[in-house]
Amino acid sequence: MELGQAIHILSRLILGAMASFLAIMLWPRIRDTAWIFIIIGTITAYVETVYSILNTLGINSHNGPSIGSVFLIPVILTCLPMIFFVAAFTVMVIRKYRRQ
* Residue 72: per-residue pLDDT: 87
Write down the pLDDT at residue 20: 96
The pLDDT, as a whole number, for residue 86 is 98
Cα separation, 100 vs 98, whole angstroms: 6
Alpha-carbon gap, residue 54 to 97, rounded angstroms: 43
SS (H, E, C) 5-63: HHHHHHHHHHHHHHHHHHHHHHHHHCCCHHHHHHHHHHHHHHHHHHHHHHHHHCCCCCC
Q: pLDDT tens digit string along 15-52?
A: 999 999 999 999 888 889 999 999 999 999 999 999 99
Q: What is the pLDDT of residue 55?
A: 87
- State the chain's mean pLDDT as an integer: 91
Q: Which residues contact 53 (CB under 8 A, 6 or more apart)?
A: 9, 12, 13
Kindly tell me if the per-residue pLDDT of 100 is higher than 70: no
